Structure 1
Amino acid sequence: MSQPNGGTFDIVILGAGSGGYAAALRAAELNLSVALIDKAELGGTCLHRGCIPTKALLHAAEIADQTRESEQFGIKADLVGIDMAGVNSYKDGVVARLYKGLTGLLTHNKNITVVNGAGKLVSQDTVEVDGKRYTGRNVILATGSYSRSLPGLEVDGKRVLTSEHALVLDRVPSSAIVLGGGVIGVEFASVWKSFGADVTIIEALPRLVAAEDEDISKQVERAFRKRKINFKVGKPFEKVEHTENGVRVTIAGGETLESEVLLVAVGRGPTTANLGYEQQGVTLDRGFVIVNERLHTGVGNIYAVGDIVPGLQLAHRGFQQGIFVAEEIAGLNPAVIDEAGIPRVTYSDPEVASVGITEAKAKEQYGADKVSTYNYNLGGNGKSQILKTAGFIKLVRVNDGPVVGLHMVGARVGELVGEAQLIFNWEAFPEEVAQLVHAHPTQNEALGEAFLALAGKPLHAHS
């Protein structure tokens, strides 16, 4: 169904990104009626301007690197060049196929009414769209996020870009400065370097991917130096000026750098302005919607999910929160989501994957004398040798207790985070994981070997 003349529903959802559409689908399964409202395409940022298209670019970048380096595997191939029109066609094709599938799933569901238009919360149970009112016994706010900038930094979409602009660029820039060394920044730096650009990352914090364990950050920095990706950490941005051929960026200390483009990757802000939230009593903090552990706003039957809720801005977090709220509304009393148990992946080369807390956080939380760590070098793993990747798996354990953090860096380690999050969320002891059989030769085996070592019986490693 689509474009009705308003109506009353069990749930009205404002925003059809990962959190919103997951809530709609789960609620529909539970036989609740849903109005799903969004001014843009179903699937939101993740599908159209985030997770999916960026990962398609990263895969194309991996193909470019493999072609360039193929001779070390005994394969002779020449990289003639990067056809950005072809790369974008591949990327857009992936998005289009997923969008078509999601649209069919939502629009053909008898319990879901899809409404295309800009919605605004006009009372504690009503969203207005183009003069039509959709009333919900429950309301879920899921309006997502936007690319932040910095004061005095004007994004023009030509020389000064956000990730949205970078995703549709019709060329490989000859040089790029990336402002921000977090997930988005290092992923685009990785892509552009693989495509042949000269790249420099500027980060105000003391290290790249600063939210990750410090040992992981150091390995990423080592790998980036080897790849000749330049970076300057602990260097806040001061200003940008246009030059004849691009931009000139000034950083702390008066140092200047020039490039063809500047990518602003300083994080994402919550999309909550001018949507009527505060007028209805919803509490905002720096634009984020404040909720309790059950994602309720404390106002009427209004809930919030996804990037507008303080915490990790990850599609799978929003997805899980959407499912949680649908089940909460249906009276199923779902278990509260443990934020530390949400897996995190950065898809650069090398990849970073983690779940749980860092060594520093564990020592702060439990006391330095209560925490032990173990690093398993991927050099001892057969499949990692085949892939010619360097990296390690780091385990953080509370002494004589469960593992509270699993941190990985290396090619394709994002594919290992599934088992890692099961280990963390089930509060498994090393001795329990050591009993599990891991297939050989796989990188997954490295996780098994790390736990064998932590359990006191290392095979290919020293305890």
Structure 2
Amino acid sequence: MADTGTAFDIVVLGGGSGGYAAALRAAELGKTVALVEADKVGGTCLHRGCIPTKALLHAAEVADTAREGEAFGVHTHLERIDMNGVNKYKDGVIGRLYKGLQGLIKARKIEVVEGWGKLTGPNTVQVGDRTLTGEHIVLGTGSYARSLPGLEIGGRVMTSDQALTLDFVPKSAIILGGGVIGSEFASVWKSFGADVTIIEALPHLVPNEDEALSKAFERAFRKRGINFNLGVRFSGVTQDDNGVHVTLEDGKTFDADLLLVAVGRGPSTSGLGYEEQGLTLDRGFVITDERLHTGVGNIYAVGDIVPGLQLAHRGFAQGIFVAEEIAGLNPPAIVESGIPRVTYSEPEIASVGLTEAGAVATHGAENVETLEYNLGGNGKSQILATQGFVKLVRQKDGPVVGVHMIGARVGELIGEGQLIVNWEAYPEDVAALVHAHPTQNEALGEAFLALAGKPLHAHN
């Protein structure tokens, strides 16, 4: 029998994006909720991921603007990067968002239980000497920064967790991993004045994106002076007072002040009682059905511990979904391919839906049509002095299945792309919509005009 005050409609284990979204929505629906968190509610995204990295990226954009002002007739001088000032700004953003989140949780009468929780039964979570009983359990224990076998983190070898707290700009840095995290840090450090080299084992940077975007991204990084070595695996690293010394399997060596290990994130599921309670795990990830149910009792899982895209907004969506599922609202299942993806570097990459290769694999090459619209034809992009393009992927004579963009600030455009893909719009549907001029959003409209066979500022 649970102690007085420890029985809830829902116990959420983990206060990150997926967990707190489930808690907030469930409380809104009249459920009693306990939210278990060992650190701070908000999780990796708010405290060690999305928010702090994007704050650094904005500071980097300000530095670039100051450095390049003369091109716009504004004569400026970039004196130095004050990392204490940058970190104060970054931490201020985090602090305000954290305070707001705490206020929401308090207003919705969610009980936050601080401490490490462990699943001890189909309806119970143990936190210290307290047993919480929930009619439903939601697991959202998040992820951690991975390393590689034999590669120890410490000293000059660090993950994004340590890189976010640096109080100096490294003179030089090697980044192991050319995905989203590695590319974003490369962009920041280059803007701050560091010499940066990315090591990526796969043939392209941002390898999960459409190949056309990856190639354009590489050209942009090369133009910025960001070095990268592709297609060869990391072998080893040593460090001393002078820096780090990295070796690849082909014998190449690289030296720098520090090594950032950005090889992805692993699910935080070890030692939490999941397997003991009969949950199915694959490489540490919790396996669920499309309704995010684990197959055990009334236990659901959300966020980074569920195989798929490790994105905060996916966690938010899954948390809301599970709360509504528990409340009997029968929400529509989340379609993974309909979730937008953004790399917040300079230039930015934004995409949703299938890549060209993914569309060909799904529908066959003869049933896929693509179009690229160069941002050179877009007035606002010319004003911003950015280069890039919009790439559309559609089923032949059918709906649009992918929208992919590269260029400054294109992440702000992906909302329309998401609607187009998820609503299975036809090019003719979008071409009929009027887009404001001059905006970068207009580039999407122009791309669809071209795909519908009536280009304006583009060749047919």
Q: Taking structure 2 as the reference length, what is the TM-score of the superposition?
A: 0.99
Q: Which of 122, 133, 136 is the equivalent residue of 2:134?
A: 136
Q: Note if 1:405 corresponds to 2:402.
A: yes
Per-residue deviation, 1:243: 3.0
Where does 1:378-417 land on structure 2 (aligned, <5 Å)? 378-417=375-414
Is the 1:13–1:37 Cα contact (8 Å) retained in structure 2?
yes
Q: Counterpart in 1 of 2:179?
A: 182
Hey, what's the Cα distance between the residues in 2 that align with 1:448 and 1:6?
A: 56
Secondary structure in structure 1 of the residue aligned to 2:144: strand
Per-residue deviation, 1:122: 0.6
Q: Which of 207, 211, 215 is the equivalent residue of 2:208?
A: 211
Hey, what's the Cα distance between the residues in 1 that align with 2:95 and 2:12?
A: 24
Q: Note if 1:123 corresponds to 2:121.
A: yes
Q: Note if 1:276 corresponds to 2:282.
A: no
| Matched letter for residue 148 of structure 1 | R
Instruction: Report sequence identity in percent.
Output: 71
Q: Counterpart in 1 of 2:320?
A: 323
Per-residue deviation, 1:130: 0.9
Q: Counterpart in 1 of 2:350?
A: 353
Hey, what's the Cα distance between the residues in 1 that align with 2:212 and 2:302?
A: 32
Secondary structure in structure 1 of the residue aligned to 2:276: helix
Q: CA RMSD in A?
A: 0.8
Hey, what's the Cα distance between the residues in 2 that align with 1:334 and 1:313?
A: 21
Q: Counterpart in 2 of 1:255?
A: 252
Hey, what's the Cα distance between the residues in 2 that align with 1:398 and 1:233?
A: 32
Is the 1:6–1:132 Cα contact (8 Å) retained in structure 2?
no
Q: Counterpart in 2 of 1:149?
A: 147
Per-residue deviation, 1:244: 3.1
| Matched letter for residue 401 of structure 1 | G
Is the 2:197–2:229 Cα contact (8 Å) retained in structure 1?
yes
Q: Note if 1:423 corresponds to 2:420.
A: yes
Where does 1:27-38 land on structure 2 (aligned, <5 Å)? 27-38=26-37
Q: Counterpart in 2 of 1:440?
A: 437
Q: Counterpart in 1 of 2:59?
A: 60
Q: Note if 1:267 corresponds to 2:291.
A: no
- Please list every run of 5 or more consecutive structure 1 residues that lacks an aligned counterpart in the other structure: none
> What do the CA deviations read for 1:185-237 (whole angstroms, capped 9, x no partner)?
00000000000000000000000000000000001000000000000010110
Is the 1:5–1:132 Cα contact (8 Å) retained in structure 2?
no
| Matched letter for residue 74 of structure 2 | I
Secondary structure in structure 2 of the residue aligned to 1:362: helix
Hey, what's the Cα distance between the residues in 2 that align with 1:64 and 1:395?
A: 33
Hey, what's the Cα distance between the residues in 1 that align with 2:453 and 2:50?
A: 39
Per-residue deviation, 1:7: 1.0
Q: Counterpart in 1 of 2:194?
A: 197
- Please list every run of 5 or more consecutive structure 2 residues that lacks an aligned counterpart in the other structure: none
Where does 1:223-372 land on structure 2 (aligned, <5 Å)? 223-372=220-369
Distance of aligned partners of 1:327 and 1:341 in 2 relative to their CA distance in 1, 3 Å threshold? same
Per-residue deviation, 1:428: 0.2
Q: Counterpart in 2 of 1:166?
A: 163
Q: Counterpart in 2 of 1:83?
A: 82
Q: Counterpart in 1 of 2:370?
A: 373
| Matched letter for residue 189 of structure 1 | A
Hey, what's the Cα distance between the residues in 2 that align with 1:43 and 1:6?
A: 24
> What do the CA deviations read for 1:375-413 (whole angstroms, capped 9, x no partner)?
000000000000000000000010000010000000000
Hey, what's the Cα distance between the residues in 1 that align with 2:66 and 2:352?
A: 32
Is the 2:199–2:230 Cα contact (8 Å) retained in structure 1?
yes
| Matched letter for residue 40 of structure 2 | E
> What do the CA deviations read for 1:297-355 (whole angstroms, capped 9, x no partner)?
00000000000000000000000000000000000000000000000000000000000
Q: Taking structure 1 as the reference length, what is the TM-score of the superposition?
A: 0.98
Is the 2:28–2:108 Cα contact (8 Å) retained in structure 1?
no
Is the 1:371–1:399 Cα contact (8 Å) retained in structure 2?
yes
Hey, what's the Cα distance between the residues in 1 that align with 2:351 and 2:384?
A: 21
Distance of aligned partners of 1:154 and 1:6 in 2 relative to their CA distance in 1, 3 Å threshold? farther
Q: Note if 1:460 corresponds to 2:427.
A: no
Is the 1:13–1:20 Cα contact (8 Å) retained in structure 2?
yes
Larger mean Cα displacement after TM superposition, 143-152 or 236-245: 236-245
